[in-house]
Structure 1
Amino acid sequence: MSTAWKTWRHAVKLDPDRPITKELLREIGQTGTDAILLGGTQGITFEKSHRLYTLVREAVPHLPVWQEVSKRTAIVPGVDGYGIPVVLNAGSTEWLIGHHMQAVCEYGALIPWHKVVVEGYLVLNGDAAVAKATEAKTGLSAEEAAAYAVAGERLFGMNTIYIEYSGSYGDVQTVMEIRRSTNAHLVYGGGIDSYEKGAEMGEWADTIVVGNALYERGIEAVYETVRAVK
């Protein structure tokens, strides 16, 4: 399994279902971010994912490009690695092990395991598309969220825990409790659109991920959040 994520303080997540220009991608490459993730929940197809990957490779050749796999039919060959979400608090077991088993059945020996990071996903915004898709149990106390993280690390051997508040800024006390409870590499994504929020979550998370803010606020949000954690 890859340990590449442990070197990242900041990553930008790009949605294959949202348009982006080569000029904006070049600007992202100048911000100081450590990596680009390709991932989303809705409207994800192989064609869109491959198109975005090709564009990113041309515009930002110096940054690692990883795909966060939410749909096995959209997997793009050639990326630097794959983040595989295992939704710890999913209400549907398909997102805990079902889709993963099917991918192994379909791709078997073709899977480049040395380029894979297993993400112990905690989906904590009930209004997010990913929460609805996975039927996630989002009404958790800080202690319950931390217990999921510890179970992912200690019982299932997950070295990366991804706290996902997609579409909203998360509860800092919950993130703090998770940080105190686990030694796993902690990734936070959701609502980071300013220097202040980047600094606040960056104090507890090893890696922060900026996604929607890029589309809503523009490149300045990336510059600000990079400065916040570096």
Structure 2
Amino acid sequence: MSGPWDDWDHVLKVDPDKDLPNGVTFEDVCTSGTDAIEIGGTTGMTEEKMQAVVDACNAYDIPLYQEPSNPAVVIEEEGLDGYLIPSVFNAGDPFWVTGAHKEWARIDDVDWDRTWTEAYIVLNPDASVAAYTEADCDLTPGEVTGYAAVADRLFGQEIVYVEYSGMLGDTEMVQAAADGVDDATLLYGGGIHDYDSAYTMAGHADVVVVGDLLHDEGIEAVEETVRGAKDAHAAE
């Protein structure tokens, strides 16, 4: 199977619980050159905050996905291209592997045709998502390869996501995940802050995900990372 992410180099993640920097508009966000926008965050999520960002982005021609942290903040919106549901494969709390997803499945009229999971491997122990899911971040490269292979080859995941949220990750670990995937698209997120960091991580992952940079530094910094990711893949 294949999805639109097969052709992506860069994704911009917008956190509805955070403001855009002064002078930055959603038009700037949607025309930054990124291949898709993912709307989501770990804490502070509400349906109203999600809806406000979706409404602001819907005026522009860019793939738009919601990544809800829990079923209660899911919004039904035709303007969304779909829903990407994290499943944290190295979570210590099994609720974040399948439990939350069981609750998702109990929602009336789940739009299964537009719903996919992302097999997360969380590797920054200081990240909110690591604490939230009780993730085991003390992994060897071989274990990361194993998780990636299990996600891809046993569970049939279309997306494997190496998450270092809050810091730039270890390229050896990202490459270990790349070694484990065959059909899945490998996403990397965490600490990408400029052209060079995007270029480096795009050399190991299929897609780089940029999030906090938008809210902390603004749109020009994001555009640098878009160029870095696309240049890395053009050079392959």
TM-score normalised according to structure 2 size: 0.91
SS at match of 1:122: strand
User: Which residue in the other structure is 1:168 paired with?
Assistant: 167
Superposition CA RMSD, Å: 1.5
Match of 2:187 in 1: 187
Structure 2: where are the runs of 5+ without partners? 231-236
The one-letter code of the counterpart of 1:227 is R
CA contact (8 A) 2:50 2:73 kept: yes
Q: Which amino acid aligns with 1:182?
A: V
Specify every segment of 5 or more residues in structure 1 that has no aligned partner in the other structure, as ranges: none
Aligned to 2:95: 94
- The count of aligned residue pairs is 226
Which SS does the other structure have where 1:166 is aligned?
A: coil
- Given that 1:83 and 1:117 are in contact with CA atoms closer than 8 Å, whether structure 2 keeps it comes out as yes
Give the secondary-structure state (helix, strand or coil) at the position aligned to 2:208: strand
Deviation string, structure 1 residues 105-142 (Cα, Å, up to 9, x no partner): 233xx122221221011111111111111000011111
Amino acid at match of 1:73: A
| CA deviation string 1:65-119 (max 9, x = no partner) | 1001211010011121000111100001100001101111233xx1222212210
CA distance in 1, matches of 2:116, 2:200: 25
Q: Does 1:55 align with 2:64?
A: no
> Which amino acid in the other structure matches residue 138 of structure 2?
G
**CA–CA distance in 1 between the matches of 2:24 and 2:211?**
17
CA contact (8 A) 1:88 1:148 kept: yes
1:43 aligns with 2:44: yes
Please name the residue that 1:224 is paired with. Answer: 224
Between Structure 1 and Structure 2, the one with more helix by share is 1
Contact conserved, 2:24 with 2:219, CA < 8 A, in 1? no
Conserved? CA contact 2:159–2:187, under 8 Å: yes
**Change in 2 beyond 3 A, CA 1:216/1:20:** closer
Q: Distance in 2 between matches of 1:31 and 1:98?
A: 36
- After superposition, where does 1:125-204 map in structure 2 within 5 Å? 125-183=124-182, 184-204=184-204
1:15 aligns with 2:5: no
TM-score by length of 1: 0.94
**Distance apart, 1:57 and its partner CA:** 1.6
| Equivalent residue number for residue 233 of structure 2 | none
Contact 1:2/1:116 (CA < 8 Å) preserved in 2? no
The alpha-carbon deviation at position 199 of structure 1 amounts to 0.4
User: Which residue number corresponds to residue 31 of structure 1?
Assistant: 32
The corresponding residue for 1:84 is 85
C-alpha distance in structure 1 between counterparts of 2:11 and 2:139, whole Å: 26
Tell me how far apart the structure 1 counterparts of residues 11 and 166 of structure 2 sit (CA, whole Å).
Answer: 16
Deviations 1:180-229 (Å, cap 9, x if unpaired)? 22112100010001100000000111111110111122112211111112
Take 1:94 and 1:50, find their aligned partners in 2: how far apart are those partners?
A: 26
- 1:96 and 1:140 map into 2 onto residues whose CA distance is 17
Give yes or no for contact 1:24–1:219 (8 Å, CA) kept in 2: no
Quick one: structure 1 residues 74 and 2, their matched pair in 2 at CA, closer, same or farther if it must change by over 3 Å?
farther
